[in-house]
Amino acid sequence: MATTPLLSIGMIFKNEERCLERCLKSLEPLRQAIPCELIMADTGAEDGSREIAEKYADEVFDFEWIDDFAAARNAVMDKCSGKWYLTIDCDEWLDEDISELTSFLKSRQKAEYAYVVQRNYFSAELEKGELFSDFHAMRLVRMSTGKRYCGAIHEAWHCQGPTKRLLHTILHHDGYFFADPKEKKKKVNRNMQLLRQELANNPESLRTLVECIECEDVDQVQYVRRAVEIVQKRRDTWTLYGGDVMRYAVKLAWIREMAETEDWIEYGRKTFPGSVFVQIDLNFAAFMFAYREKEWEKAMRYGEDYLSGLRTLRYNKLSGDAAEELVRGGFSFATPPSQRELMVGLSDAYRKNGQGEKALEIISSLEGEKLTSEQVRNIVVLLCQLHAETALNTAPALMGFYEKIAQEKPDKQKCSVRISSFTAMAALCFGRSYREEEKGHDGYWRPAYTAFLALADQCEAGRAAVIMNADSPEEIRAVLSKVEYWQALPIEALEHALQAGVPFPLKENPVNMEAMDGLAARLTHDENTARQIALSLPDKLEQTDRQSLYWAQSLVMAALRTFDWKLGKKEVPVSAFACPEKKKDAEKKLEHKCTPEEGLALIRRFAQVESAMLPLTYTAQALAEESASLLPPMHRWGLYCIRALEALDSGNPHEYLSILRRGLKACPGEKDMVQFLLDRFQEDARPKANPELLALAERVRAILAAYGPDNPAARAIRESEAYKQVAWIIEPMGQMVQ
């Protein structure tokens, strides 16, 4: 080059085709801003990395890999001629804001070394996301110092002299997320081989033990215990690495539920209170441990200390040893998602410790638009509990929380997930069993669902709360007419409206068929309101009021699907009694027993509804029996039910059974309902046959018994008109559904 470059940029690479060009492109603005040279060593590339490197570098040379990172990097430095040296890895890229870096390089500061911020990403969102961790990485050295790298693995310069921290110069790094799992495992194995060798040479090296722990090797617990023992014995460098060791120890102990967890928490907090790793990572893990153990006072203390440590870190108020720690690595729990996770738990710890005001403060400060669906559910539960068990005014916090989670930008789909979670948890508070149970809680103040009165104009949970609190049909109808998303309306509100005599559906707020089907299905819970309403429908349905007709159809269909056509004859599985919870659920399902009278009434109601619906929906040709197979299953079954009941009511039991037989063939899914009808027929219609018919049946039975089943005379009898009159008495009912 014509002039001595101000900066030499050095890199080593192998198979980095995925990310190399991105890295080299990011260096172009810097190379244009100041005199630079780019020197790169190829340590054995077998993909297209070499070709990419040669497009950008001033020099690319081969370096035979000898399992020594320091040797490779020093080989690059030996070829550099700049005043300053910058090292960068292939899976990194320089932030576009290089103003601080160029100003530093052009200045006459006496610094001989400089740190930059290395930002490690842990999600595919990279800069657009929040999952990253920063630490201060020594990446710049003045070439006149003569410094060279030391260490076969995690190589570094041993710095002695004035340094500068460039807090706005960022090297982005995605290797932890995008690394190929197989390649990552190979690298971990390679690194662990080198680290074990270093550990064999120096068994009490805390630096090496920490690096082994960070590799997440299968022996991680072993390395943690060794490191903690060395720290507690106050061996060499114990003060330097103590905070680092203890944050990893507590994290691992919490996750793996180790017996040492509590002892390590107290030792780490007491011995290294100034360590930023203790303030953030250790306190986070300590909070999670205390929360799991339901030690609310400890959880509050750990959580508050964690948040304090985060504030110190983010406002760059670190000093002394805490600032020096940032050169040794990043954090596990300093990300915004980790902070939100802890804050949700901390608000619950405050509530459980009787500090509801603090819980509301935390909730109000949360970035609701960034919460996960689980966190949304937890906050809804917490707000409802605070409302139900205290005299606190939860309305401002609830309104602010809902406004945040309902923000569609920047991600409409995530907003929808949050609202769904909110809706699902809110609906639980309206349940009859929940309302009865909460009255028995200590400190019960008011129904939890009334918290949502604050959202009367924002969502269906709010409208449901108003409906549940209203007695006037006119007031209920006015609120019901404003419902927009029927699937989000707690079904108890609609039940309350129906019991208050409010007609449904409302003419001023029509409901589509899908929504009606959904509402009817939800009305089958608890007391099965759908069945009750279906059975109370008028015998004659007006075809002109289609909304009401469709609603009647939805109710009857829902009632049919949930009716126990076996009338409880199916035993509870043995497995249910092996598990108390399953037994409880199974017994609960048998509480509301179905009666034969209800079943017959439902089927007749079904036929009545279908009689009104089918002519409105299909042509006469479509309703002919030869076309019945083209109808949807339930309408097809409805057609056979109508005709079968008409035959039965007209005194033609043989035709009734014949139609049921054809209906079963066309609708095999209705086997249980057919069996129910046959059982009722056998118990009711057959015994009531007139004496003359019974006598004829006995004579025919005797004649058939005299012949074999394949005898021509027997076949002729079965085809006779006389036999058809009594076949329904003679033939076993069960044969129809086999």
Instruction: Give per-10-residue mean pLDDT for the chain (738 aa).
Output: 83 94 97 97 95 97 93 96 96 96 93 93 88 90 93 81 92 82 79 88 92 81 96 94 96 96 98 95 98 97 97 78 79 94 98 96 96 97 96 97 95 95 96 92 92 97 97 96 96 95 94 95 90 89 84 95 86 46 49 83 95 92 89 93 94 87 92 91 66 66 72 74 64 54
Give the pLDDT confidence score for residue 576 in this predicted structure.
Answer: 43
113-121 and 36-42 strand pairing = unpaired
- Residue 626 exposed, middle or buried by CB count within 10 Å (0-12, 13-18, 19+): exposed
Q: What's phi and psi for 481, nearest 5 deg?
A: -70, -15
Report helix, strand or coil for 245.
helix
d(C-alpha 346, C-alpha 13), whole Å: 46
Which residues make Cβ contacts (< 8 Å) with residue 333, sequence separation at least 6?
A: 280, 281, 284, 285, 306, 342
Task: Give 274-290 as a DSSP string.
Answer: T-HHIIIIIHHHHHHHH
Asked whether the bond before 410 is cis by omega within 30 degrees of 0, the reply is yes
CA distance 302 to 314: 18
Tell me the C-alpha distance between 555 and 541, whole Å.
14
Euclidean distance between CA atoms 452 and 448, whole angstroms: 8
pLDDT for the residue numbered 591: 47
Is the CA virtual torsion 128, 129, 134, 139 positive or negative?
negative
Dihedral sign, Cα of residue 225, residue 231, residue 233, residue 235:
positive
How far is it, in rounded angstroms, from Cα 19 to Cα 21?
A: 6
Separation between Cα atoms, residue 361 and residue 274, nearest integer Å: 27
Q: Is there a contact between 622 and 549 (Cβ–Cβ < 8 Å)?
A: no
Backbone angles phi, psi at 171, to 5 degrees: -105, 110
Query: Which amino acid does the sequence have at 404?
Result: K
CB neighbour class for 515 (10 Å; exposed up to 12, middle 13-18, buried from 19): middle
